[in-house]
Structure 1
Amino acid sequence: MIRDYVPADRAAVNAVALAAFAQYAGDYADWPAFSAGIGRMADLAGDGDLLVAERAGRVAGAVVHVGPGRPRSAIYPDDWSVLRMLVVDPDRRGGGIGRALVEAALERAVRAHAPAVGLHTSPIMATALRMYLALGFVREHDLPPIRGVPYARYVLRLT
């Protein structure tokens, strides 16, 4: 089940985010500082729609949809929707949770009349990247590395 975040989800969302990114601890320079930000994923609910995947009464994943006109990185136009921090509990991967979360976020973007949806990701996140490409996202250009990890901007045109 995909639903909106509620404050009672805070600890579980933050724990899933940390667990989801833990496999990359050796890839990021200054992992302690980077992971501190990851561990505050629930704070993003203030800037967008934090969607939660729940399985068997537990948070299994989450993603943030930042609609047009909401605060975002300068790498995205103001009229786009943006996807941030797709995370899935490592023990729940392979069951379609990530795809369901992204599809729910894309529905929000369509309802918000965004002409496009942007996201940034890294080749080290190979499974997520394959899913984004399968959904129609297209790589636009490289971005500066984040703590030593390469990133690029991807876009899905809706109009």
Structure 2
Amino acid sequence: MRVRACVEADREAVNAVARAAFAQYSRDYDDWPSFIEGIGRMAELAANADLLVAERDGAIAGAVAHLGPGRPRADFFPGEWSVIRMLVVDPARRGQGAGRALVAGCLRLAKEAGAPFVGLHTSPVMASALRMYEAIGFVRDRDLAPIRGVPYGRYVLAAADISPAIVLLA
């Protein structure tokens, strides 16, 4: 699994992977058509974030956005933090390490940026991702308002607690 910066030629594949990754939640979110339309524009995050892709055998297996300190973000994340946004993995490629490698790429970028903390928001409905985040060391520190009827929480990892071993995966 190779993690690299997203390039223009990856945009449609990133958007397709995002739609496929979220399809399993179609019954969880209110106003699903509008929600998935936004998810399907994931590549647009590259305008304000470092958009990373995981590639295997020439295909995009997953993607994630890293918002470094000072970049626009939701108001529940302090400006000096790095933020991991919208980790997606192609359902056909799950279990091959793409998600973990993409998080490792974000943690490497956060360390390089000097961010004191890395934050993300996720939901209990995303059980596999949540288990991975907690295994890496992220801790839930507050509840957030539901998004389209789905509960969310904010999770945080102190830069000092980032394992060098996880960063090597990127």
TM-score of the two chains, using structure 1 as the length reference: 0.99
Match of 2:92 in 1: 91
1:115 paired to 2:105: no
Alignment: residue pair count: 159
Q: Give the % identical residues.
A: 67
**Within 1, Cα distance between the matches of 2:110 and 2:8?**
23
Match of 1:104 in 2: 105
By how many angstroms is 1:120 displaced? Answer: 0.2
1:148 paired to 2:145: no
- Name the amino acid aligned to 2:96: G
**Within 2, Cα distance between the matches of 1:53 and 1:155?**
23
Match of 1:72 in 2: 73
Match of 2:4 in 1: 3
> Tell me, what secondary structure is at the counterpart of 1:76?
coil
> Tell me, what secondary structure is at the counterpart of 1:68?
coil
Q: List alignment gaps of at least 5 residues for structure 2.
A: 161-170
- Name the amino acid aligned to 1:97: A
TM-score of the two chains, using structure 2 as the length reference: 0.93
Match of 1:129 in 2: 130
**Within 2, Cα distance between the matches of 1:142 and 1:36?**
26
**Within 1, Cα distance between the matches of 2:31 and 2:126?**
18
**Within 2, Cα distance between the matches of 1:54 and 1:115?**
29
Match of 2:28 in 1: 27
**Within 2, Cα distance between the matches of 1:60 and 1:97?**
7
Deviations, residues 87-133 of structure 1 (Å, cap 9, x unaligned): 00000000111000000110000000000000000000000000000
- Which consecutive segments of 4 or more residues in structure 1 shift more than 3 A? none
Deviations, residues 45-82 of structure 1 (Å, cap 9, x unaligned): 01110000011111110000000001111010000000
By how many angstroms is 1:9 displaced? Answer: 0.6
- Name the amino acid aligned to 1:60: A
**Within 1, Cα distance between the matches of 2:6 and 2:59?**
12
